[in-house]
Amino acid sequence: MTYAGVWTIAEARDGALRQVSFELLTRGRKLADKRNTTLSSVVLASGISDETVRELIKRGADRVYVVDDPALAHFTAETFSNVLVKLIDTYAPEIIIAAATTSGRTLMPHVSMRTHAGLTADCTDLDIEEGTGNLLQTRPAIGGNILATIKTPEFRPQMSTVRPRSTKPAPVDASRTGEIVRLPFDPALRDGRVRRIGFKANEGEEVDIQSADVVVSGGKGLKKAENFALIRELAEKLGGSIGASRDAVDRAWIGYPHQVGLSGKTVTPKLYVAAGISGAIQHLAGMKTAETIVAINSDPDAQIFRVADYGIVGDLFEVLPLLNERLSREVGSK
Amino acid sequence: MNIVIPIKQVPETSNVKMDEKTGTMVREGVESIINPLDLYAIEAGIQLKDRFGGTVTVISMGPPNAEKAIREAIAMGCDGGVLVSGREFAGSDTWATAYALSESIKKIGAFDLILCGERATDGDTGQVGPGIASFLDVSLATYVSRIVETDEKEIVVERLIEDGYETLAMRLPALVTVVKEISYPRLPTLRGKQKARKTAVPVWAAAEIGIDAAKLGLNGSPTRVVKIEMPKVTRGGKIVPAPDEESAVRAVDGLVDFLKSKDFI
Ligand SMILES: Cc1cc2nc3c(=O)[nH]c(=O)nc-3n(C[C@H](O)[C@H](O)[C@H](O)COP(=O)(O)OP(=O)(O)OC[C@H]3O[C@@H](n4cnc5c(N)ncnc54)[C@H](O)[C@@H]3O)c2cc1C
């Protein structure tokens, strides 16, 4: 079989595409152009309109494969894997890129085993090797202490997941044209072994810290739960989400979904602010790859300063109120 | 309820030292431990066994000294363990590892549930758990934060996803990867340690398991590591002291200018 073309796996929820779908197109377009081939997006969803999926074309896809069925309304590994494996068997893409989300990080390994494909998780950089045309995948490992470059010379397809927010969404070009291919859902691919029977949405504050542009985190230096108000206020002013160290989570000052680090979430925001966090290696593992890092800590030797782009050695109970007040004035004077 | 828990031995990385020249980890003097994220799976498994009876078996693929990790798990309260070890497994990527572990689990016998840590702290891929479920064709849920209930046929779990917690009812046998929120790992007890010393830990090579050696090690692994680099450790950022109010005001002014220069304000 000859494998050709680059695919991105779009993500949809409630009939709308998630932003990460457009970020994947930025990656995919670059690779497809270098390989001199076409870029296709795959949409597995329920109740998604042509108008909605056309945005993928306007943002860089040449073709969109849509499988639309109520069985695909919510992600379950088995059914999604069945459908994707069938598509791969039919169309034989050379490269598949998916988002390193809770669903992408589940679907892709499931599929890669069945197709005996190479899969590299959480890539920060993707490129095409001169000469061979192989996909070069770069990813952090050992808690961000190394960057490994990986390729898949003999097996196809070559698959990667990339972190949300690690690239900009591809811009809209209204003049772009492409093809929408709607494929029927084969009921035999529906696997009923896992049923989604409930959902509890995050309440109140935004905890989808992995897709936030700005994350403001607090640690043990905050001393007690009420003082998270300082973090909340700063997050609000910067339009960000709230993160925390494990020590703050273990003291129940804030819920586990906010935990950043080795046993929590890995975030790659544009701006990460750490206040009263020492910067233990397990915390750094979850935020080291942020574009810009700001640290506030009273201990000049705190490890967090080693990764900071701007650090203030001082008392957070003095610095944060000053900062919040300055930001109120900034916003007010605009 | 019969539970199998695949675990990995990893270097204790709270004080990682890297060899700047080769880009590899300095292993001398670095202790090997059970992947810390596997401890949550072990604890969840022991709690299920305490409530519903059955057995908890750990399985690890690794060098001969990974036996230590298995004995530690037994000391925590697991019933027994198997070490999958041999030169033929060396160089396995996540495909070959998931394949070898799934074949080994088949040899262990009938199981209801496989519990895995979310990922290992060295490789950081999180692909082996879902991979085993794929090979064994059992129900899969990842990022599970709570086991709600279970009976002989089904397990109900809560899964932590981007916008909340979803509840899944999964037909058994199933494979579940867990996050920290699911449990607080216990420490090994003295009695557990004694039991661990006395328990025989069989070592299986590919021949014993009866697996296709062509699918193991480098031969079976689609991926190749071609380069290792060390990202710069320090960013050499601007660090401003703010010991008193006056300097704090200046430091905050500086920070606001910095944030403006980066378009955050
Ligand atoms: C297996 C494993 C997994 C782990 N996973 C994670 C993880 O996912 N996430 C995580 O965060 N940790 C994790 N840890 C824990 C980690 O090792 C640290 O213990 C933890 O990150 C410390 O949290 P902290 O920085 O809030 O607290 P501390 O280390 O106690 O730091 C508090 C900081 O606040 C500063 N401070 C105190 N008062 C003030 C003040 N008034 N003004 C300014 N600064 C002040 C102090 O100087 C200090 O630097 C893990 C550990 C292990 C072993």
Q: What is the mean pLDDT of each run of 10 residues along chain A (334 residues)?
A: 95 96 98 98 98 98 98 98 98 98 98 97 94 94 84 96 90 97 98 97 78 95 97 96 96 94 91 97 90 97 95 98 95 60
Say if residue B19's pLDDT is above 80: no
Q: Which residue out of B8, B10, B14 has the highest number of ligand 1 atoms within 8 Å of its CB and is therefore the one to mutate?
A: B14
Give one DSSP letter per residue of B133-196, joined into a string: HHHHT-EEEEEEEEEEEE-SSEEEEEEEETTEEEEEEEESSEEEEE-GGG--PPPPPHHHHHHH
Say yes or no: CB of residue A219 within 6 Å of ligand 1: yes
> In this structure, how many other beta carbons lie within 10 angstroms of the beta carbon of residue A176?
14
Q: Is A219 within 8 Å of A260 (Cβ atoms)?
A: no
CATH of range A209-332; options 3.30.830.10, 3.40.50.12160, 3.40.50.1220, 3.40.50.300: 3.40.50.1220
Count CA atoms closer than 13 A to A159's CA, side-chain side. Answer: 32
Helix or strand (DSSP H, E) at A196: strand A194-201
Q: What is the pLDDT of residue A304?
A: 96
Query: What is the rounded CA–CA span in Å between residue A202 and residue B163?
Result: 6
Its CATH architecture, for the domain B2-215, is 3-Layer(aba) Sandwich (3.40)
Query: What is the rounded CA–CA span in Å between residue A331 and residue A319?
Result: 18
The first and second tokens of residue A271, run together, are 């701006």
Query: What is the rounded CA–CA span in Å between residue B8 and residue A319?
Result: 43
Higher pLDDT, B27 or A104: A104
For residues B2-14, give the mean pLDDT.
90
Query: What is the rounded CA–CA span in Å between residue A30 and residue A22?
Result: 13
For residues B9-38, give the mean pLDDT.
78
For residues B152-172, give the mean pLDDT.
96
Contact with chain A for residue B230, Cβ under 8 A: yes
Q: What is the pLDDT of residue A205?
A: 64
Residues of B in contact with A270 (CB under 8 A): 264
Say if residue B194's pLDDT is above 60: yes
Q: Which residue out of A283, A319, A323 has the highest number of ligand 1 atoms within 8 Å of its CB and is therefore the one to mutate?
A: A283
pTM over 0.90: yes
CA–centroid distance, A126 to ligand 1, in Å, is 33
The three-point CA angle A118-A102-B81 to 5° equals 70
For residues B224-233, give the mean pLDDT.
82
Residues of A in contact with B179 (CB under 8 A): 256, 263
| Beta-carbon separation of B251 and A112 below 8 A | no
B198 contact partners, CB below 8 Å, separation of at least 6? none
For residue A37, the 8-state DSSP code is -
A64-73, B202-211, B233-242: segment of lowest average pLDDT: B233-242
Q: Which of B113, B117, B184 is nearest to B151 (CA)?
A: B113
Taking the CA of residue A302 as reference, the ligand 1 atom at the shortest distance is 49
Say yes or no: CB of residue B11 within 6 Å of ligand 1: no
Q: Which sequence spans correspond to the domains of chain A?
A: 6-189, 209-332
Q: Which own/partner contact pairs does B154-160 have at CB distance under 8 Å and 24+ positions apart?
A: B155/B113, B156/A197, B159/A102, B160/A102, B160/A256, B160/A257
Say yes or no: CB of residue A217 within 6 Å of ligand 1: no
Measure B194 CA to nearest chain A CA, in Å. 30
Percent of all residues in chain B with a pLDDT value above 90, rounded to a whole number: 85
Burial class (CB in 10 A: 0-12, 13-18, 19+), A202: middle
Q: Is A96 within 8 Å of A7 (Cβ atoms)?
A: yes
Say yes or no: CB of residue A259 within 6 Å of ligand 1: yes
B50 contact partners, CB below 8 Å, separation of at least 6? none
What confidence category does residue B23 fall into, taking pLDDT thresholds of 50, 70 and 90? low
Taking the CA of residue A277 as reference, the ligand 1 atom at the shortest distance is 25
Q: Which sequence spans correspond to the domains of chain B?
A: 2-215, 236-265
Say if residue B22's pLDDT is above 90: no
Query: What is the rounded CA–CA span in Å between residue B152 and residue A158?
Result: 39
| Beta-carbon separation of B162 and A210 below 8 A | yes
Chains A, B: CB contacts under 8 A, how many?
277
Q: Which of B148, B163, B176, B179 to mutate to test the interface with A (most CBs of A within 10 A)?
A: B163
Query: What is the rounded CA–CA span in Å between residue B254 and residue B265?
Result: 13
| Beta-carbon separation of B224 and A151 below 8 A | yes
Q: Phi and psi dihedrals of B104, rounded to 5?
A: -65, -40
Residues of B in contact with A300 (CB under 8 A): 239, 241
Q: What is the pLDDT of residue B178?
A: 98
The string of pLDDT tens digits covering residues B177-189 is 999 999 999 999 9
Q: What is the pLDDT of residue B242?
A: 96
One fold for both A6-189 and A209-332?
A: yes
Residue B5 vs residues A277, A315, B44, B113: alpha-carbon distances, Å: 34, 45, 10, 9
For residues B212-235, give the mean pLDDT.
87
For residues B90-94, give the mean pLDDT.
93
Q: What is the mean pLDDT of chain B?
A: 93
Residues of B in contact with A282 (CB under 8 A): 14
| Beta-carbon separation of A322 and B127 below 8 A | no
Contact with chain A for residue B141, Cβ under 8 A: yes
Q: Which residue out of A250, A263, A294 has the highest number of ligand 1 atoms within 8 Å of its CB and is therefore the one to mutate?
A: A263
Write down the CATH number for the domain with range A6-189: 3.40.50.620
Residue A127's beta-bridge partner residues? Answer: A136
Query: What is the rounded CA–CA span in Å between residue A113 and residue B213?
Result: 16
Q: Is A243 within 8 Å of A216 (Cβ atoms)?
A: yes
